[in-house]
Structures are given as C-alpha cells and as structure tokens.
Amino acid sequence: MAQGEQRLLSYFNIDRDIPHMYSHELETEYNPIPPALNLAGANYLLPEFSDMNPELTGFRVALVMSHGPELSEFHVPVRYLRDRGAVVDVITEDWVFDDQPGEASGMVVLAQFLAVNVCVRADKRLSNVKAADYDALIILGGAWNPIILRSKDAVLEFIRDSYSRRMLIAAICHGPQVLVSAKAFPAGTRVTGVKDIRVDLRNAGFVVVEDRPVVYDENERLITSPDPQPESQKAFCEAIGDYGKRLLAERTSPVSA
C-alpha cells in the first residue's frame, strides 16, 4: 500500500484489512481522451514589447502561486520583468516541496486550459519569505491556482501583509478571486477580472470596470487585468513596469531640504 493511501485510511479511520476502491480506479469505466480533443484550449498570441524600458534593476517581485496557473499568464510577466532586471521570486506553499517526492519537489504545474504537460520549479517556499522583502506581489489566474490559494490562510495573510505595507498588488484573469478571500481591500476599490468572476468581485464590494485591458487603482496600489489576451497581458506587464520605474526613481531621488 502506498504511503499516501496509508495516510488517507488513517485520517478517515478506515479499516486497512477491508478491500477498498479508490477514485483513480474509475478510469477503466470511461473512454480515454481521443487525440483530436484539444485540451490546451486557445493558443494565445503573446504580446510584443517595443524595447527594454523601463529599467527595473532593484525592483523585487513576489509571484505567489499554486498548481494550475495559465502558462502564458506565468511566462509573460515573469519574462518581461526579469528581462528588465527585476528580481522575480516564484513562491509556493510548503507542501509543494514537502509532499512531492524526489525531482517533483517544488515543481508547480502550469496549465493550458485543461492540458497539464509542463511545470516550473518554485524558487522559494512561502514559510521562508516575508512581504517586507518585496516591492510588489503578483497573483495569477488559471482554473485551479486561485481556488487553491484562496483557501490557504498563509497565502491570504501574505496578501494582507503586502497590502498593509502599501506594496503594489497585481492580479490577472481569475487571480482577483484570491483578493476577495483576503478581504484586504476596502469597498469601492476599482478592479477588473475575467467575466465569470465579476459578480463575485461586485458582491465583495469592488467596483468592476468593464472593457479595459488593465485597471490601476492608484489609491489602493492595485493592478488588475481581465484575461491572457495579448492586449491585456501587454497592458498588465507595462503597468507593473511603470510602477516599478516610479518606485525606483523615488528611491534614488535626492531628499529635498
């Protein structure tokens, strides 16, 4: 019996001597997925950026995620920021390191709609980082990633700590769902998000802005974008970059007498 099965039986106080059926065994009762079924969904065009400005060396970004963010929503902002000199730490929950054995330790699955054939190794575990070490926090979308994140107290506390420190918080697509659960932002904060979560955002007191590729609530230091379409991702990245450029300029400007 696998170690995971032993823990499951022990947790639910199930008699190990009685044969049990597990959900994975149900696969034999159903049809395999035919090759013609496109699990990867839309093949999003990636945005193009005209130059390497702004220069972001010294800008520190925490990207907190779990399994299942959309591949392009991860790749585009990480590449954009790192190419311009920013430090981007990919941070995930401790169990992704501790409960995934061997070479799988710390590996986070990146999704393309329903396809899950690529992954990336996280840089740091959540318990080893502090919001005070960063200038900005990014929360990605995807189907499973925000669902997992919004149910984890340590993640929500990290978001609340980031907000209390007046850090920039940026969320794309389904990512703003996590902000609903964090309950850090006051009613009236301006946001956008993918269409199916907008009613949830409104019910939580956010003001949802329609038909915009990015929304920046300057008072609350919140950037949101509705989807992984190239116009949205370009605007999302550039809004984060513009914020970083302003922040770095403030740090290096001489103190007025």
Q: What is the largest CA-CA distance in the chain?
A: 79
Q: Is 174 a catalytic residue?
A: yes
Determine if residue 84 is left, alpha or beta; phi over 0 gives left, psi from -120 to 50 gives alpha, anything else beta. alpha
Q: Between β-strands 87-92 and 60-64, what pairing exists: parallel, antiparallel or unpaired?
A: parallel
CB-based contact 137:62 (threshold 8 Å): yes
Distance (Å, whole) CA 91 – CA 18:
41
Q: Between β-strands 215-217 and 222-225, what pairing exists: parallel, antiparallel or unpaired?
A: antiparallel
Q: 20, 24, 173, 237: which is the annotated catalytic residue?
A: 173
Any residues with CB less than 8 A from the CB of 153 and at least 6 apart, and which? none
Beta bridge partners of 216: 223
Q: 67, 75, 174, 237: which is the annotated catalytic residue?
A: 174
Quick check: helix, strand or coil at residue 189?
coil
In the DSSP assignment, the letter for residue 69 is -
Backbone φ and ψ for 36, nearest 5 degrees, come out as -75, -15
Q: Is 67 a catalytic residue?
A: no
Any residues with CB less than 8 A from the CB of 218 and at least 6 apart, and which? none
Any residues with CB less than 8 A from the CB of 119 and at least 6 apart, and which? 107, 108, 109, 110
Q: Between β-strands 107-112 and 115-121, what pairing exists: parallel, antiparallel or unpaired?
A: antiparallel
- Catalogue the active-site residues: 173-174
